[in-house]
Amino acid sequence: MANQSKIALDKVILIIGMVIYGTGFSLLYVIFAPLSRTIGLSTTDFGILIAVSNVALVFSSYYWGKKSQTMGRKPVFIIGLFSYALAYSLFAFGIQIGIWQLLAPMQLFIMLFIIRLIYGSMIGGIQPAAVAYMSDNTKPSERGKGMALIGMSAGIGTMIGPVMGGGLAFIHPLFPMYFGALIAVFGGFLAMKYLKESTIEKVKIEKSSLKFYDKRIFPFLFGWCIAFLVFTGTQVIAAFFIEDRLGVIGQNEIIKATSIALLSMALTTTLMQAVVLQIFNISFQTLLRICFVIFGTILLSITLVQELWHLYLAFSGIGIAFSMMTPGLNAGATLSVETHEQGEVAGLLAAAPVLGMIFGPPLGAFLYNLDTTYPFYYGGIVVLTLGVYFQFIKFPKDIHSKLDV
């Protein structure tokens, strides 16, 4: 009984850290997007700044995932949270300099570009350490449930972010970001005190490292990369779409509408992973073959949106798709490799969506400048094609056909 309580507490601390991590990402879309125009940045500038940190994050995620095999999941997780707090505060202050108009737009862009590179380099250990820790502490038959908890925590963070942004922005537009950094410090201290070392954490890494093109895991990494390329390409222009297409006027109103849209998505994701997918025993293959079809169909439907409530409903549907995607892709990949490869595959699982995030924001901004519906239209086509891919893919034979997700 005592051991069960210890594991439960470990997972709670892990979830808290991932919630904090997810909160920061959603806050960027809610707070920084409308402020970007105020401080003299273009839509393209905004997309590039979101993408540039992801370039660094691809490499830092893989690095820290491998590092967790020798250093341990707990130290890497803690380093990630404290680094996140520092880097997030630095970026918020950079935006503040733009509000003060202390720099010309091009100088401001260069400064924020450098800060975003630093940000991406520093926060790479959080997600791979969490995924690897969950792999260490769950049985294969319960792996899907564990990965659903990771996805649920990110969904909760996405849900908290818009609420925090809309609820605290009245104090100061950047106050929610500073508050987000503060709770990351709190999460780091919680992890120091309560997160336990895994008994199978520290192993010697073999000379031959796991590669992204390894046929055991490539389909799952490819799925994450394409899904997030499309996802970030559409999310990055959400605030602009609400203003330009749906006619919402005023910074506060745009922040409010964007917050509700993201909240709708996060709420359905959380409910699905915390309730529905815990009750129904669905194979990971089924989840993957359904989620991309749902995602693509909904993106195409957004091109027809005329009112805000239609957009909120569509974002709720995207949340359903992602609630299936996370446990399906993560459980499939972690069950495809050996114990000594869990840290590396966790790093690759964290890096794959970020790789998509590098190209998604600038591509979304580019398509948006051509037509406000293009990011959703072409994104929907790409995701539906990915859905077809997963209908015919042959999954590794050593993966359990059924997962308790």
d(CA 313, CA 335): 34
- Provide the pLDDT for residue 220: 92
Q: Which two tokens stand for residue 120?
A: 């991406």
Q: How confident is the model at residue 388 (pLDDT cuts 50, 70, 90)?
A: very high
Question: What is the Cβ-side half-sphere exposure of residue 344, based on CA atoms within 13 angstroms?
Answer: 19
Which CATH code, of 3.40.640.10, 1.20.1250.20, 3.40.50.300, 1.10.630.10, is assigned to 2-193+216-392?
1.20.1250.20
Q: How many CB atoms lie within 10 A of CB 167?
A: 12
Q: Residue 34 contacts by C-beta under 8 Å, 6 or more apart in sequence?
A: 239, 243, 251, 254, 255, 258
pLDDT tens-digit series, residues 297-323: 999 999 998 888 999 999 999 989 988
- Residue 398: is its pLDDT beyond 50? no
Residue 103, amino acid = L
When mean pLDDT is compared over 98-112, 150-164, 185-199, 253-267, the highest value belongs to 98-112
DSSP string, 327-346: HHHHHHHHTTS-GGGHHHHH
The residue to which tokens 């798709």 are assigned = 321
The residue to which tokens 């094609």 are assigned = 385
pLDDT tens-digit series, residues 91-119: 999 999 999 989 888 999 999 999 999 88
H helix intervals, 72-125: 73-99, 105-122
d(CA 250, CA 255): 9
> Over pLDDT 70: what percentage of the chain?
91
Q: Exposure of 394 by Cβ count < 10 A (0-12 exposed, 13-18 middle, 19+ buried)?
A: exposed
- Residue 207: is its pLDDT beyond 70? no
| Local structure of residue 125 (DSSP, 8 states) | T
Q: Which two tokens stand for residue 48?
A: 């590039």
pLDDT tens-digit series, residues 252-300: 788 788 878 877 887 888 888 878 877 777 777 888 899 999 999 999 9
Helix axes 342-370, 43-71, angle to 10 degrees: 180
Ramachandran class of 166: left when φ > 0, alpha when ψ lies in -120 to 50, beta otherwise: alpha
C-alpha distance from residue 36 to each of 12, 43, 294, 310, 359 (Å):
35, 8, 32, 26, 19
- Provide the pLDDT for residue 186: 93
Strands (E), 256-347: none
Instruction: Output the pTM of the full model.
Output: 0.71
Domain boundaries defined on the chain: 2-193+216-392
When mean pLDDT is compared over 14-18, 191-195, 333-337, 373-377, the highest value belongs to 373-377
Q: Residue 369 contacts by C-beta under 8 Å, 6 or more apart in sequence?
A: 43, 44
Contact 85, 123 (CB under 8 A): no
